[in-house]
Every structure is written in structure tokens, then in C-alpha cells.
Amino acid sequence: MNALLVVVAILGVSASGPLMAGASAPALAIAFWRNALGTVAIAPVVAPRARRELATLGRDGWRLTVFAAVMLALHFGTWVTALKMTSVAAATAMVSMQVVFVVVIDHLRGERATRVVVAGIALAIAGVLVITGVDFSLRPRAMIGDLLALVGGLTAALYMIAGSQVRERVSTGAYTVACYGICAATLLLACVVAQVEMVDFSGRTWLAIIGVTICAQLLGHSVLNHLLAVMSPGLISLLLLLEVPGAAILAGIFLDQVPPVGVYVGLGLILAGLVVVVARRPPPAPALAD
């Protein structure tokens, strides 16, 4: 049964990139609706317990929650925009660098990384340089997308670090509904300020938005969070890396995206480096947001 849940979860998160890239809607609008619909779906299930837990969170806990939610909004805003500018394979590989950013941030906070982990980081960075170099030689716009996806990885790392501290005080359900709700409100404000279209989409685009909510939010990360009860965070994090080739394959099938060979070389280097990093130093918990 657990093996079946793993397959469902990986397919769910892998579908996220291709669905958002294929949706004919502004990036900020897609990011908003994904979080808003996710909040609406989760809230009725966790509301009674979440209300009690969040009431005891305290000022520091709420400060961390708001910070995590804003970082999550920045993550979605940059990553979904990146999906519109570069290939799904490149964007997904770049955003998965969040694991490396977590290690670097922890190092700045006084936690030393082993030589093996440093070597894995160097390998992943080499992959980033290969992909951005290939994209810049072909389309400078794609390189900008790569860099936006990297920013998405950084903000996802900050979200994960802040969120792990909040989850020491409240359940995952309570934290998730609060964080997603604040994230949706932040993205709504960004949509209003940027004056982007939010509702006048085709039926196909609405299906893609609903699809990414169901696949990534509910069948993807929610199932992975359930599996944490029987699997270690390190193993879950390794499984999440399968999103990179999974998203690339789905984008090739449904979006006819076939990046240059150099992109796949860089993707391979990133995956190899991240496997080393995660295997030698498992992060506290997998991110709830890609």
C-alpha cells in the first residue's frame, strides 16, 4: 500500500510543472489560485483542531508563520514565472536546488557540512552552470527563467526552515492551512498591484489550475506528509528528487518540450549532486510547496 502511495505522490508532484506551464494564465494568478483552492480544500478537514492550536502559537510563532508564508508566495511567484520562460526540465531542476540552499543557510548558522556534502553541492552547482550556459547561448529569456527558478529554490528553502520551527509547536494541518491562507492573501495582493487577469480564463486553463491543486497539493505533498509516519525524512527527500525527471518526461509528452542535450547533462549533474547532499545530510522535512 505504501509503495502505491509513493507512486501516486511522485506522479502528483511531477505533474505540477507541466500543468502550470501549460495553463494560459498569468503566473501570479496561477500561484494564487493554487494556494487559495488548496486552503479551501484543507480548511474544513483541519479547522476545529487548527483553531485551537493556532490560538496558542504566540507572537513569535505567528511571526515565523507569516515569514514562511511570504517566502512561499515568493517561491510560487518566481517558479511559476520561470516555467513560462524556460523549459519545465530546467525550471524543476533549478528549483530543486532548495536542498543545497538549506545546507548553505545551516552552515551560515554554524552547522558545518561534511566534505562529501560540499562535493555534492559543487556537483549540483556545476549542473546549474551547464544549464544556464546552454540556455543563454540559445535564448537569454530562458536563462532569466533559470535564475528565477533558482530564486524559487532559495525562497523554498527559507520557507522550509521557518516552517520546520513552527511545526515543532503545531500540527502539520494547522500550520499548512495558516501558511497557505496567508500565502494566498499575499499573492492576491500581488495580483491586484500588478493588475493581472485572475478569472477570465478558458475552461482548459481552469482545468489545469484545478489539476495542479489536486495533483501537487492534495495527491502529491499531502500524501508524502502522510508517509512521514512510516518513512524517514531523508527517504522522502530522495523520493522528491524523482520530480525532476518525472516533470521532464511529462513535459516532453504533453507539451512537446525537448530541451537541448546540454540541459539534460546539467540536469543529471544536479540530480547526482542533490542525491549526495540529501543522502549524507537529510533535511528536517520535505517542503510542502513544489
pLDDT in tens, 230-250: 665 556 666 777 888 888 888
- Residue 225 in any domain: the answer is yes
CA distance 97 to 283: 13
pLDDT of residue 287: 41
**Among 8, 30, 28, residue whose Cα is nearest residue 209:** 30
Describe the crossing of helices 27-55 and 203-212 by its angle, rounded to 10 degrees. 40
CA distance 236 to 213: 20
The identity of residue 285, as a single letter, is A
Q: How confident is the model at residue 225 (pLDDT cuts 50, 70, 90)?
A: low
- Residue 30 in any domain: the answer is yes
CA distance 148 to 228: 30
% of the chain residues with pLDDT over 90: 45
Phi, psi for 284 (deg, rounded to 5): -60, -40
Cell triple for residue 224? 508524502
Residue 113 is given by DSSP the state: P
- Residue 216 in any domain: the answer is yes
Does this model's pTM top 0.85? yes
pLDDT of residue 211: 94
Residue 213 is given by DSSP the state: I
> 33-65, pLDDT tens digit by residue?
999 999 999 999 888 888 899 998 889 999 999
- Residue 289 in any domain: the answer is no
Q: Domain count of the chain?
A: 1
CA distance 157 to 73: 13
The identity of residue 24, as a single letter, is S
- Residue 286 in any domain: the answer is no
- Residue 92 in any domain: the answer is yes
- 15-19-22-25 Cα dihedral, nearest 10 degrees: -160
The identity of residue 157, as a single letter, is A
- Residue 33 in any domain: the answer is yes
- Residue 65 in any domain: the answer is yes
Helices (H), the chain: 2-14, 16-22, 27-55, 58-85, 88-95, 98-108, 115-138, 140-166, 172-194, 203-212, 222-227, 233-240, 243-254, 261-280
Q: Which structural domain, as residue segments, surrounds residue 94?
A: 2-280
